Structure 1
Amino acid sequence: MSNLEFGPIMRALLRNKVGAILIALQIAVTMTIIVNAVFIIVERKAMMERESGLDEANTFYLTTTGFGKDFESKRVTIEDLALIRNTPGVIDAIQVNAIPMSGSGWSMGLATQPGEEIESVGTANYMVDDHALNTYDAELLAGENFSPEDIRFRERNQSDWPDLAIITQALAKSLFPELGIDEVVGKTIYIGDNEAMIIKGIIDKLQAPWVGWNNLDHVTLTPEMMAFPSMRYLIRTEPGMRDKLMTSLEETLANQYPNRIIRNVETITATRDKSYRQHSAMINILTATMILLTLITALGIIGLASFNVNRRRKQIGTRRALGASKQAIIRYFMVENLIISSFGLILGVGLTIGLNFMLIEWFAVKALDWYYIPTGVVLLFVVGQLAAFGPAFRAAQISPALATRTI
């Protein structure tokens, strides 16, 4: 495009700058929101897709609550687990104090040395027996599984801990960053300032109950079952058997002892959906907002371009009568929109970075990756040019004879 064309375009914009400024601001705001929204959506989707370590599609859990003075928690737990494990279609089952991704559980701090002044590493704690790894579908990377002799019952108000533990690979790296996982086995860790536990094994992956926790992959398994009236069983089934066994085992366990109730029968997939419900809602809202803003911006560009075409119809006809081609008329309005969009996108880059800084400060989100900004610039540039093409094409169809008409 020559300077002879660029000059008239700029002069025309300066004479009618209000509309151009409003569209540029609209483009800037749209870019600011879209780029940060896309970044948040990608971040949230990545969080939602984190592997829990469980065989989620084939795992469910239920809660059994006994009542009455004659209810024997230990005996019922042992008999329940034997019944469940021997049920056709069940791979394995455990009694456990908390469920991954459920939002409720036990946590503690572990340190590599005793003493109050030693900084601890946060971890979730699951109280399990020697069937836990098979039930969780966890891979033992180093060391050994618990043996039946390692398992104890935890009584109400009991505060001491077993002297053995199995931890996740992520927790092992946080506790002993300089060691390989094979070297971590046999190391002593401390809970409650000075109570020692020996690491017996390391598993590949298992998630804590709190999906928003920074230490989601920090999990400790301790060899104990709870002698409580209310207990939770985690059950892993063969593929395709989960839903059938949820119904049949609920009924079987309910009939096994009359002085108890079975409740909260739920799949791990349903638990995941509930835990990430806010993330899903945020993604849907941000997606709808982005689509709406893009449409509004495109309509604004179309409106301004159409207004300029209608206002300059006689001028366009004159240019056509003087020999201007249709391509030249289209180019004129496309370049005019490009200039407006460029100002808006330059302002949008600054606003995008500023908004991201505020989100980091207020909501502790991660810093925006650099490539989101040029991607947003290209996207809105394409949207702007596509929106302007329709009015520009209509302008090119104006007849040169219009120049001879009076208004």
Structure 2
Amino acid sequence: MLRHLFTLIWNRKQANALLISEIFFSFVVLFGVGAVLITAARNFLAPHGFDYDQVWRLEVRAGQNRKMPRAELDDVLRQVQAVPGVRMVALTSGNVPFIFNTNNSVFEYQGKKSPVTNYYHADDQYNQVMRLHLREGRWFAPIDDGSHHRPVVISQDLRESLFGNGPALGKIFTWENPGKDPINYQDQFLVTGVVDPVRMESDFSAPIPSMWQRLLPYDTTHWETANVLVRVAPGSAGELQEKIARTVAGVTRQWTSQVRVINDERLHRRRYTLVPVVGLCIIGLFLIVNGALGLFGVLWYNISQRRAEIGLRRAMGATGAGIGWQFLGEMMVVTTFGVLLGGMLAAQFPLLHAFNLPAQPYLMAIGAAAAAVYAITAICAWQPSRLAAAIQPAVALREE
């Protein structure tokens, strides 16, 4: 039977070539959309690596062309910490979770370079606020005040890229291409701890290698803007936000402040990230529907052109069900050719590690695209196959 189907397909190779090309492009579209959706879903279900619930972002601004001395800023932090309902505060850099602000670079250890890495500035209380999960070592502490190198905590994925399976604690690495000149101690990073991979960009982003540099408590740097992470008691709402803002104004009325909820910013970033994904899905659905309609029309026309063949087969004893299964089988074989061609193209993505993605999402997308193409083809071929099965031999031969 299969050999007979191949013979029928070969006899109509020009028409079937168009069907194969249409199925091929449908597979490619489904593969692309599937890879995006599967990657987004895997990232969404993965842990963030930190606890953002009950964490607010306090942004303090000194004003245009003004600076805030560290002593006054520390006084603000102490006053906010004393507000009832505030559990812990931590000073950090501007690239807090879920906002459109990043600091990244490449680091080097004994000639081995890291991928692009997000780096953050954090004080000794940062981990008590964000609750990252320490895998090795410890967070910053006052015992690091006398260190000759900048203490840092790194994520597990950065640890693997720089140190492999070897020990990481106590190792010292630098920025990329440090050169031959003596390196300032603040550009030499001493690993004191390793935490789980984190996803601080959005709910749909993949983990990015990360590093947290210690903000020195005696640093006299002046900032125009300071970002403070505030962990609050469960159930805290707008009333506490107003208290925090009034507390900052009470310390120095020259500064302004804003309090935002990290979870609200996460939801805002999620909606922004979903826009291109939803747009891609709509375009893919539009192309698939048009392809399915075209396939349905081609099959319908194909049957109308083969009425004499169908009538002859029925006159020789073929059943209506047999005719229907013949047409359906032909389409499944033609679909297999299109899927194989599309699969050969899609297989290049995991082999080349395209877009720095692991192989698993691509393989899952290939399987999902193949299943969807077979399902769409079967649905499109079902009604024309029923039409072919219902043709009576006398009617078909009389028309010829």
Identify if the C-alpha distance between structure 1 residues 112 and 10 changes in structure 2 by more than 3 Å, giving closer, same or farther. closer
Q: Indicate the residue corresponding to 2:255 in structure 1.
A: 260
Q: Is the 8 A contact 2:90 2:228 kept in 1?
A: yes
Q: Is the 8 A contact 1:35 1:372 kept in 2?
A: yes
Q: 1:344 aligns with which of 335, 338, 358?
A: 338
Q: Distance in 1 between matches of 2:136 and 2:375?
A: 54
Task: Give CA deviations for 1:261-315 in whole Å, capped at 9, x if unaligned.
Answer: 224x433345445666675333223322332333223222221222223344465
Identify if the C-alpha distance between structure 1 residues 237 and 188 changes in structure 2 by more than 3 Å, giving closer, same or farther. same
Q: Distance in 1 between matches of 2:134 and 2:364?
A: 39
Q: 1:167 aligns with which of 153, 158, 167?
A: 153
Q: Indicate the residue corresponding to 2:369 in structure 1.
A: 376
1:380, distance to aligned residue in structure 2 (A): 1.4
User: Does residue 323 of structure 1 match 2:310?
Assistant: no
Q: Indicate the residue corresponding to 1:177 in structure 2.
A: 164
Identify if the C-alpha distance between structure 1 residues 140 and 403 changes in structure 2 by more than 3 Å, giving closer, same or farther. closer
User: Does residue 291 of structure 1 match 2:285?
Assistant: yes
Q: Indicate the residue corresponding to 2:212 in structure 1.
A: 220
Supply the AA of the counterpart residue of 1:402.
V
Task: Give CA deviations for 1:75-120 in whole Å, capped at 9, x if unaligned.
Answer: 432232223223333221112123145343545665557xxxx666
Identify if the C-alpha distance between structure 1 residues 350 and 261 changes in structure 2 by more than 3 Å, giving closer, same or farther. same
Instruction: Give the secondary structure class of the aligned counterpart of 2:223.
Output: coil
1:354, distance to aligned residue in structure 2 (A): 6.2
1:327, distance to aligned residue in structure 2 (A): 0.9
Q: Distance in 1 between matches of 2:353 and 2:140?
A: 45
Task: Give identity over the alignment, percent.
Answer: 19
1:325, distance to aligned residue in structure 2 (A): 1.3
Instruction: Give the secondary structure class of the aligned counterpart of 2:153.
Output: strand
Q: 1:205 aligns with which of 164, 184, 196?
A: 196
Q: Is the 8 A contact 2:85 2:233 kept in 1?
A: yes
User: Does residue 76 of structure 1 match 2:65?
Assistant: no
Identify if the C-alpha distance between structure 1 residues 169 and 188 changes in structure 2 by more than 3 Å, giving closer, same or farther. same
Q: Distance in 2 between matches of 1:227 and 1:59?
A: 25
Q: Indicate the residue corresponding to 1:308 in structure 2.
A: 302
Supply the AA of the counterpart residue of 1:81.
L
Q: Distance in 1 between matches of 2:264 and 2:68?
A: 31
User: Does residue 56 of structure 1 match 2:47?
Assistant: no
Q: Is the 8 A contact 2:99 2:201 kept in 1?
A: yes
Task: Give CA deviations for 1:104-159 in whole Å, capped at 9, x if unaligned.
Answer: 3545665557xxxx66657544333321110121244444444457579xxxxxxx
Instruction: Give the secondary structure class of the aligned counterpart of 1:323.
Output: coil
1:332, distance to aligned residue in structure 2 (A): 2.3
User: Does residue 390 of structure 1 match 2:387?
Assistant: no
Q: Indicate the residue corresponding to 1:239 in structure 2.
A: 234
Q: Please, what TM-score do these two structures have when normalized by structure 2?
A: 0.77
Choose 313-322 or 329-338, whichever is displaced more. 313-322
Q: Is the 8 A contact 1:165 1:223 kept in 2?
A: no
Identify if the C-alpha distance between structure 1 residues 357 and 30 changes in structure 2 by more than 3 Å, giving closer, same or farther. farther
Q: Distance in 2 between matches of 1:288 and 1:358?
A: 28
1:30, distance to aligned residue in structure 2 (A): 1.0
Q: Is the 8 A contact 1:100 1:207 kept in 2?
A: no
Choose 384-393 or 294-303, whichever is displaced more. 294-303
Q: Is the 8 A contact 1:168 1:203 kept in 2?
A: yes
1:202, distance to aligned residue in structure 2 (A): 0.8
Q: Is the 8 A contact 1:124 1:209 kept in 2?
A: no
Instruction: Give the secondary structure class of the aligned counterpart of 1:165.
Output: strand
Identify if the C-alpha distance between structure 1 residues 344 and 90 changes in structure 2 by more than 3 Å, giving closer, same or farther. same
Instruction: Give the secondary structure class of the aligned counterpart of 1:53.
Output: coil
Q: Distance in 2 between matches of 1:100 and 1:380?
A: 40
Q: 1:132 aligns with which of 121, 126, 132?
A: 126
Q: Distance in 1 between matches of 2:233 and 2:5?
A: 73
Q: Distance in 1 between matches of 2:86 and 2:330?
A: 69
Choose 325-334 or 315-324, whichever is displaced more. 315-324
Identify if the C-alpha distance between structure 1 residues 32 and 322 changes in structure 2 by more than 3 Å, giving closer, same or farther. same
Q: Distance in 2 between matches of 1:69 and 1:336?
A: 75
Q: 2:91 aligns with which of 88, 92, 95?
A: 95
CA RMSD of aligned residues (A): 4.1
Q: Is the 8 A contact 1:207 1:219 kept in 2?
A: no
1:39, distance to aligned residue in structure 2 (A): 2.1
Choose 95-104 or 131-140, whichever is displaced more. 95-104
Q: Is the 8 A contact 1:48 1:276 kept in 2?
A: no
Q: Distance in 2 between matches of 1:357 and 1:147?
A: 45
Instruction: Give the secondary structure class of the aligned counterpart of 1:266.
Output: strand
1:200, distance to aligned residue in structure 2 (A): 6.9
Q: Distance in 2 between matches of 1:169 and 1:288?
A: 37
Task: Give CA deviations for 1:9-61 in whole Å, capped at 9, x if unaligned.
Answer: 653x25xx34x332221101111222233223333444555544331232221
Q: Is the 8 A contact 1:111 1:120 kept in 2?
A: yes
Q: Distance in 2 between matches of 1:249 and 1:380?
A: 57
Q: Distance in 2 between matches of 1:58 and 1:283?
A: 29
Q: Distance in 1 between matches of 2:338 and 2:153?
A: 53
1:401, distance to aligned residue in structure 2 (A): 4.6
Give runs of aligned pairs for residues 11-22 of structure 1, distance below 5 A: 11=11, 13-14=12-13, 17-18=14-15, 20-22=16-18
Q: Distance in 1 between matches of 2:64 and 2:101?
A: 26
Identify if the C-alpha distance between structure 1 residues 123 and 213 changes in structure 2 by more than 3 Å, giving closer, same or farther. farther
Q: Distance in 1 between matches of 2:242 and 2:394?
A: 81
Choose 58-67 or 46-55, whichever is displaced more. 46-55
